[in-house]
Amino acid sequence: MSPTATIVLIVVILLVLAAIVFGVRAARRRRLQQTFGPEYDRVVADTGSRTEAERELLERKKRHAQLELKPLSAQSRAKYSAAWEEVQIRFVDSPKEAVATADELVTRLIAERGYPTGDYDERLADLSVEHAATLEHYRSAHEISLRSKNDEAETEDLRQALVHYRALFADLLGADPVAAGTAVPAPRPATEDTTATDRTAPTEPDATSR
């Protein structure tokens, strides 16, 4: 084989190898984007590097695979659904306390599903593998909850927090904890008779965007 032919062959082999490597990376990227959805773009923005972001997301998948996750029993699902309805009822008279209870309820549900709940950031990372679609809801709810503890959240903020918590709660539960189309109830005005029995607000479109 002539030197020229040898060089051409080497170039062809290198091009084929490069195409294979590119194809493998592209396929891996598509899988990560499908798995993590908007979380993929968020991690890329946070790290400033697509390569670093994909490395982190792959580590999340490895850690997630080691968790002993378990589905809820029908009894547990019914228990959590009933508890959530109580949270929404409580919101009418005590919005701040209801949001705090919602945060605790979501954390208990996360733990019962088998996720560690010690560190908040690690909790987000673990949840992102199977619940990326509702993770931003959780972040928003958590942020409002922290502001609420410092008396920095308005009533509408608290209502939105409950909507956000409900999105992740339903995702973890496997079903909406309340009837489809049921709105988070509005808090009772200060001048309203506390003996009133109507505790529901007009229904709002079901939050299917979680």
Full 3-state SS string of 121-158: HHHHHHHHHHHHHHHHHHHHHHHHHHHHHCCCCCHHHH
pTM of this prediction exceeds 0.95: no
Give the lowest-confidence range in 22-31, 50-59, 199-208: 199-208
**Residues of the chain above pLDDT 70, percent:** 83
**Residue 111 pLDDT > 80, yes or no?**
yes
Q: Tell me, what's the pLDDT at 2?
A: 78
- Across the range 66-72, mean pLDDT stands at 93
Q: Counting beta carbons within 10 angstroms of the beta carbon of residue 112, is it exposed (0 to 12), middle (13 to 18) or buried (19 or more)? A: middle
What tokens does 120 get? Answer: 């908040």
Q: Tell me, what's the pLDDT at 181?
A: 52
Give the lowest-confidence range in 9-13, 56-60, 135-139: 9-13
**Residue 200 pLDDT > 50, yes or no?**
no
Average pLDDT of the chain, as a whole number: 84
> What DSSP assignment string belongs to the chain?
--HHHHHHHHHHHHHHHHHHHHHHHHHHHHHHHHHHTHHHHHHHHHHS-HHHHHHHHHHHHHHHHTS---PPPHHHHHHHHHHHHHHHHHHHH-HHHHHHHHHHHHHHHHHHHT---SSHHHHHHHHHHHHGGGHHHHHHHHHHHHHHHTT---HHHHHHHHHHHHHHHHHHHTS-SS-TTPPPPPPPPTTS-TT-----PPP----TT-
* b/e code 36-72 from CB counts within 10 Å (16+ = b): beebbebbbeeeeeeeebbeebeebeeebeeeeeeeb
Q: How confident is the model at residue 89 (pLDDT cuts 50, 70, 90)?
A: very high
**Residue 39 pLDDT > 60, yes or no?**
yes
- Across the range 77-85, mean pLDDT stands at 94
Q: How confident is the model at residue 19 (pLDDT cuts 50, 70, 90)?
A: confident
- Model confidence pLDDT, tens digit, residues 143-199: 999 999 999 999 999 999 999 999 999 999 987 776 545 666 667 665 544 433 344
Place of tokens 């891996």: 28
Give the lowest-confidence range in 16-20, 90-94, 142-146, 158-162: 16-20
Q: Give the C-alpha separation, 25 to 17, whole Å.
A: 12
Q: Tell me, what's the pLDDT at 186?
A: 66
